Amino acid sequence: MTDHELAVPPPDELNYRLRQHKLASDFGMFCLRTHDVSALLYEATRASAEGMRCKLCKVLEYRPAHDDFLVVAGVGWLPGVVGHALLGSGAESPAGYAYASGQPVISNELASERRFRTPRLLVEHGVLSAANVLIRGDESTFGVLEVDSTHLGQFNDADSDFLQGFANLLGIAIERQRLEERLHRNEAALQRALDYERVLVSEVNHRVKNSLTLVTGLLAMQRRGSSNAELQRVLDAAEARIHAIAEVHDHLARHGKAATVPLNGFVCDLCRRLGAANPLHQLVCDVVHVTVSADRAVALGLLVNELVTNALKYAYPDMVGEVRVSIRPSGGDHYTLEVSDQGVGMPAEDPSSRRGLGTHVVSSLARQLGGTVTWHRDPPGTRVVLEFPAERDGAARD
């Protein structure tokens, strides 16, 4: 017997097996708590060596590209072995033989073995017997867990079962960790792609907004260069409508989204711009926190622009006043857009019978939204109401 290792088996076989069971149970809990593969490999070798009353234990990772094994973890070995030592496959080593056969291999007398060679590494450490089991998960085989002893006749089938239990836990833990690492890499790659997409979307919408702003500038120049009052009125209306569309793309650019707009921020920003152009009147905006598609935002923006501009222009010809804009849920997956004032009120004729471009724009946009628009005389003022359904895939509340 060497001075660094006790003879085996222990005198109390029951206590010996109970100790192995406790070590296996503790290692299972360790596998659940730990996400560091290096720590898992080391703890597997330490606990396996303790459970089998040996000083030497190692994990050998099979390297398909080289058809050999690398000692990736271990206890009891001389410096420079772990992380560097290589063993042959197949009959070149006990581990290679176990890996090739796919079965646990016990050799209680390495010197007389005919199945495989004894590697120099084992000879240099005085190893006389060895037990090898495969480390594998559900999808792949990682390598071999090997316990080595400097005594003859060290191991039996119960020891092999104990060691295989450790290897099974280790194989599942390694496979889980590799899966988590792949998921993290995939998540990181997906996040990079999403970030890049947001940059592109923001840039595209920023450029569209700039292009629309350029168009409104050209319209403004044409309006200023014309003495035709009717043409100036038409160009004013066109400029305001293009501004409303540009507002949508401005929000898309700022939020980095390709297809959705926060409706409350967009409509209230539009109202602030319209109010700034008409400082004598007060604009009040009350819009539900909901996200809508860009197409729907454009239609609603144009509607708000048309109705608010009309109210500011005609409701208070000789005085100042308030215009209110609201979009609220109205039950049954519907929403209500309402633009109201306390002005002079509508003319006697039905507004839907008018032939002006503004009326046609409002009616067309209402149909586009799948809704219906009604004009109400509410002395002293006017109230225009649009009832429209939520989008088919559902408007998302913030």
| pLDDT for 242 | 76
For the chain, what is the domain count?
A: 2
DSSP calls for 37-94:
HHHHHHHHHHHHHHHTT-SEEEEEEEETTTTEEEEEEEESPPTT-TTT-EEESGGGSH
Choosing from 184, 208, 236, the residue where a domain stops is: 184
Stated pTM of the model: 0.51
**Which residue is it, tokens 């840039």?**
203
Quote the tokens at residue 300.
């609603």
8 domain residue, yes or no: no
Choosing from 184, 218, 241, the residue where a domain stops is: 184
Q: Do residue 174 and residue 323 come from a single domain?
A: no
**Alpha-carbon distances, residue 271 vs 146, 275, 276, 303, 368 (angstroms):** 75, 6, 8, 12, 22
Residue 317: which H helix or E strand, with range? none
| pLDDT for 357 | 57
Choosing from 166, 184, 202, the residue where a domain stops is: 184
What is the chain's mean pLDDT, rounded? 83
| pLDDT for 3 | 43
Q: From CA 210, how far away is CA 208, in angstroms rounded? A: 5
Residue 6 pLDDT > 70, yes or no?
A: no
CATH at residue 105:
3.30.450.40
| pLDDT for 255 | 59
CATH at residue 279:
3.30.565.10
285 domain residue, yes or no: yes
Give how far the C-alpha of residue 92 lies from the chain's centroid of Cα atoms, to the nearest Å: 47
Give how far the C-alpha of residue 148 lies from the chain's centroid of Cα atoms, to the nearest Å: 46
Q: From CA 261, how far away is CA 379, in angstroms rounded? A: 35
Domain range spanning residue 312?
259-398
3-state secondary structure at position 154: coil
Residue 17 pLDDT > 90, yes or no?
A: no
Q: From CA 347, how far away is CA 160, in angstroms rounded? A: 98
Q: What is the pLDDT of residues 222-252, one digit of tens each?
A: 667 777 777 776 777 677 767 677 776 676 6
Q: What is the pLDDT of residues 275-296, one digit of tens each?
A: 888 888 898 999 998 888 878 8
